[in-house]
DNA sequence: CATATCACTTACTTTAGGGTAAGTACTTGT
DNA sequence: ACAAGTACTTACCCTAAAGTAAGTGATATG
C-alpha cells in the first residue's frame, strides 16, 4: 500500500488534527471519495466484492480494494472469505461500522438540507 | 485560488460522489485538515483573523485564509470587516454553520467512542 | 523615517491520494 | 488447450491539496 513519508509536515499536521480533533479523526476514516458510498452499499446488508464493484461502476478495482482494506484495518468493515475456487468473499459492516449509522444519517440530513437551501 | 483541471477523472469522480452522496457533499465542505478545527474555534463565538491564527499556531496563514475563504464561499462562515487601519476583520458561523453543530457533535461523539474502543 | 500591526497575496515546491492498465492464482466448463 | 470467473496485485503516472517563504497596503507610533 502507498508508502507515506512520515517525516513530512503534512503528516505531522494530520496526526495533530486526528489526535486533537475527533471530527478530523472521523474524516480520516471515512474520507476517501468512495468510502461513504461503499459504507452506504454495505449498510443494506453484506455484499460480495463483485457485487460492490457492479453497484459502484465508476470505481476502479484498485480504489475499491484499497478502501475496503482501509475500512477493514480501521475496524469498520469485516471481510469473510470462503476457501473455495472461484473465491467467495463477503464484506459487511462491523458493530463499529453499524454504530456510525446515526452519525452518517446526521451528516446526510444536514447535507440534504443544505443542498435544498435550508438554513 | 488553486486552479483545478476540471477535465480530470479525479474531478469527475469527485463531482459524482458529491452529487450522489450527501455525506461526500458534507465532507467536501468540512474536509480540509484545518476546517473542523476552525469551526470548533468559531463555535464558541466570533473571532478575529489574528485570534484564530494564535488559537491554531500550527496552521500557516495561507492555509488559514484559504480555508476561511472556502468556508465563506460555502456559506458556513460570515466575514465582517471594518474599514479601518489596521484592518479589523471578524469571522463567525452563519446560520448554516451553526446548523451543522448537531452533526458535528454526532461525529465527535462517535469518534471519541471509537477511540476509546467502544463498540 | 523606520518600524510595527493587521489581514491578507503570490510564486513556487512537495506529497498523498487517486487513476490507468496490465498481470496473478486457481479451478471449472467447452 | 483455452477462455471465463473471482478477488485481488503491481508498477507507473497525474493532480489537488498542503506547505514554504516572502511580499503588499495603509496608517500609527516612537
B81, β-bridge pairs: B89
A77 neighbors A71 (Cβ within 8 angstroms)? yes
Q: Which nucleotide is nearest to A14 (CA to C1')?
A: D18
Return d(Cα B82, Cα B88) in angstroms, integer.
Answer: 5
User: Quick one: pLDDT band at residue A15, thresholds 50, 70, 90?
Assistant: very high
Distance in angstroms: CA A85, C1' C25: 10
User: Quick one: pLDDT band at residue B20, thresholds 50, 70, 90?
Assistant: confident
Distance in angstroms: CA B65, C1' C9: 10
Which structural domains are found in chain B, ordered by start? Answer: 1-30 (no CATH), 33-115 (1.10.10.10)
Q: A30-44: buried (b, 16+ CB within 10 Å) or exposed (e) per residue?
A: bebbbbbbbbbbbee
What end-to-end distance do the CA atoms of chain B give, in Å?
A: 42
> Considering chain A, what is the average pLDDT of its residues?
94
CA dihedral A69, A70, A71, A76 (to 10 degrees): 110
Question: From the CA of B9, how many Å to the nearest CA of chain A?
Answer: 10
Return d(Cα B112, Cα B116) in angstroms, integer.
Answer: 6
Q: Which nucleotide is nearest to A58 (CA to C1')?
A: C19
Grid cell at residue B26: 458534507
Q: In this predicted structure, what is the pLDDT of residue A23?
A: 97
Return d(Cα A106, Cα B89) in angstroms, integer.
Answer: 32
Q: pLDDT tens, B37-89?
A: 999 999 999 999 999 999 999 999 999 999 999 999 999 999 999 999 999 99
Q: Does A64 touch chain B (CB under 8 A)?
A: no
Grid cell at residue A60: 476502479
Amino acid at each position: 500500500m502507498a508508502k507515506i513519508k512520515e517525516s513530512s509536515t503534512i503528516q505531522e499536521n494530520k496526526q495533530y488534527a486526528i489526535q486533537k480533533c475527533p471530527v478530523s479523526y472521523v474524516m480520516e476514516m471515512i474520507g476517501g471519495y468512495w468510502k461513504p458510498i461503499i459504507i452506504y452499499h454495505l449498510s443494506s446488508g453484506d455484499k460480495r466484492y463483485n457485487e460492490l464493484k457492479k453497484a459502484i461502476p465508476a470505481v476502479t478495482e484498485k480504489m475499491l480494494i484499497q478502501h475496503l482494506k482501509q475500512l477493514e484495518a480501521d475496524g469498520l468493515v469485516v471481510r469473510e472469505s470462503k476457501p473455495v475456487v472461484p473465491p467467495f468473499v463477503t464484506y459487511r459492516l462491523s458493530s463499529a461500522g453499524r454504530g456510525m449509522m446515526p452519525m452518517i444519517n446526521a451528516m446526510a440530513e444536514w447535507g440534504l438540507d443544505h443542498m435544498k437551501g435550508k438554513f
